Structure 1
């Protein structure tokens, strides 16, 4: 038996990075269905193809969704009704805009765009997951929301709208966890460190100095990998974490606990499933 046998799962931001790695693990662990949601139809098609290449017997559905629009999130969650309603909701979709800056340099439209996707999107996903769980009279469910370590520590390389949005996710998730605890609906935050994903790496580009400024703070000498975050999400999604609620699950290689980082060669990272060929 898999750790998610029979569970209906939804992953927003599921076309790549943490979302796709999580979808692959959900499928490997026996999820009844994995619904991958993202804003790009083309990226979703590629993600679904990759997942099925790795887990040929998985039931995977794709759903184009802009999480800043409640009607679209509602339709996404209600698409799980055909399978008995959602059991696991991973509100992972988010943006970190290139024009995000400090208190002076961040344009208002970038602030609003970031909050609409990163905060309202998580709210909408959480709201409709609860409605689905109640509708199908479920006595337990797991909602995981992607926050960030920047909600816990400050940074002199500012991305103010993003940081503020992730702080809001932390607070919102904790409150939801307490409000819905007696219903059996658990809410937890995933707090990733900067990762070797397209979202960050495309932003860093070939700027060696900008990249080094961040890498130096990792005790392990490297960025995290999406698969390392997905493993944490899998635990929070499974019944193994039945007494974990309202928790900020920090997966950062020790970054937020470091004062002075060690010298020497970096630790080798694991290989992401999406980077592997089919077996």
Structure 2
């Protein structure tokens, strides 16, 4: 005769879980997994196209979260709040790490694997990702030309254009410094936001004041370090993107018409928060 089931086994038995979802919200219903998975539509029979689409779908989801967290942090920074945005920016950093890790999965695709389906998607390219472009704009990489691929979609182009004309997360941070009595020049605070920020000696001096007295300016000091985390991870993502492209297609032209690896290598030189990097040397 089988041994009688012990009470703890009964409690932890899978039969104790909810098993009838005819009138209840299930996991799949809540997450709309049918809708999510229905968007996964390879257009060739190539084995690795499934991998390619999966990585880019997941990346778009992480980009959406980054946009949400950046936007919320910026809204609070514009009100002079610094503590809650730090948590949001920490979440941005963790999401960026997930984005960067995705390249490691894609690197398992060899050049022959990629060429088996590359020609099928024509001129489609990650260069045209509206969400990636929004992240860049919010972080301060401003170039109106890069918004043009979205002009045919007002629902995408409108928010991008609005963000282009609004302060970046770094602009809002510099406003906080000015509000705390640090001398940020008017031409910096009232600059043309459609253009990338220019290095400014007075801004560097203001950050030197913060970094030389972190106890007094602890919230600004911590915010600066968190912004450096964001840019550091952004650079890591760009570098992994470059190496993935180089090992997959070498120096061929990108599908979207850019020079491919050459364009990505040039992008590595973009600095989002210049004075926060310079302050290390100046201290």
| TM-score > 0.5, shorter chain as reference | no
Q: Name whichever structure is richer in helix by fraction.
A: 2
Specify the structure having the higher radius of gyration (Cα).
2
TM-score by length of 2: 0.31
Q: Name whichever structure is richer in strand by fraction.
A: 1
